[in-house]
Amino acid sequence: MNRLIPSKIGKRAPGRAGWLGGLVAGVAVMLAAPCAHAQVFVLNLDNNSGNGTVGEYTTSGATVNSSLISGLFQDYAIAVSGSDLYVVHSSSVGKYTTSGATVNAQMFGLGAPEGVAVSGSDLYVSASGKLVGVGVYTTSGATVNAALISAPSWAIALSGSDVFVSNTNTGVIGEYTTSGATVDASLITGLSSPHGIAISGTDLFVTNANNGTVGEYTTSGATVNASLITGLSGPSGIAISGSDLLVTNAGNGTVSEYTTSGTLLDANFITGLDDPVGIAVEAEAVPEPTAGWAMAVAALGTLTVVVWRRLRPRSETR
């Protein structure tokens, strides 16, 4: 008579040590593989000399290298994209790696550049001097359109196919398309020397240097809270870090951390700075698959097949 009985789990399978060893080794490599975490880069000026540095910090505020990049002069803004940093100098834009190496200290010359933003392989630079407005260039420095937007521009931020720029003299933020068309030149008005813009989804945050506040608006121009954060000291740069806001205080040499709803987390998130004018946060990188990952996946696949086979009922003749 034939009947089904379960296989004996304790029975040793040929080659079990091989696939089990591969599994353990693969998982160990997976767990040990380094994961690139987001970093914070702060552009800091010396008030006496005008010399600038870029410091690197963790997203918890710990110092990695306070002088990651040095030898700068009269710098105003910073942006990060992948492993590249872009720094606005007094008359140019410099390109560096996030490890501090110089790629090109003067990618192209400009008159009084003020802000910088990156989208893919395009670099948008705002200016308020000789070349008034916003120009677009490639991240390798080639000119695409030096006069994309012809309006005095200081801070700049990108969101999808839209460009948002501030005019610190008139207290206005204007909206344009990445092709240069005007959407609304006076999208947000009544600001007090807007020096920095950060966007998260449909929320737009702006620093008001003259009255020490951060205001929150929608990207369609509606006011959410014009005084979301108050009591700042010459706020200039602003950046999104996860679900939080990081704001530079040029007046007291600090970076403060808040939630996007305006709750103070740490007024002294980063200290010991002189005149922090710009800030950028590197997106957290997903580690590339390694041989260890492949080994672990293969071993897990083998384990699944073996367990399935071992638990599958088999026919045995008695």
| Rounded distance between C-alpha atoms, residue 76 and residue 98, angstroms | 18
Kindly state the tokens that stand for 303. Answer: 């384990």
pLDDT at 30: 45
78 found inside a domain = yes
In tens, the pLDDT along 234-250 reads: 999 999 999 999 999 99
**The CA-based dihedral angle spanning residues 104, 109, 112, 113, taken in that order and rounded to the nearest 10 degrees:** -50
Mean pLDDT of the residues in the chain = 83
Indicate if the pLDDT at residue 286 is higher than 70.
Answer: no
91 found inside a domain = yes
252 found inside a domain = yes
Number of structural domains found in the chain: 2
223 with 166, same domain: the answer is yes
pLDDT classification of 155: cutoffs 50, 70, 90: very high
**Beta carbons of 142 and 122 less than 8 angstroms apart:** no
214 with 94, same domain: the answer is yes
243 found inside a domain = yes
Strand arrangement of the beta sheet that strand 51-58 belongs to: 63-73, 51-58, 39-45, 275-281
In tens, the pLDDT along 265-285 reads: 999 999 999 999 999 999 765
DSSP letter for each residue of 97-144: ETTS-EEES-SSB-SSEEEEEEETTEEEEEESSSS-EEEEEETTS-EE
Domain range enclosing 16: 2-34+291-317
13 with 46, same domain: the answer is no
Residue 255's closest CA among 167, 83, 241? 241
267 with 300, same domain: the answer is no
Kindly state the tokens that stand for 314. Answer: 């088999």
The alpha-helical segments, DSSP class H, found in the chain are: 16-32, 291-311
| Rounded distance between C-alpha atoms, residue 312 and residue 291, angstroms | 32
pTM of the model: 0.79
132 with 237, same domain: the answer is yes
The alpha-helical segments, DSSP class H, found in 8-72 are: 16-32
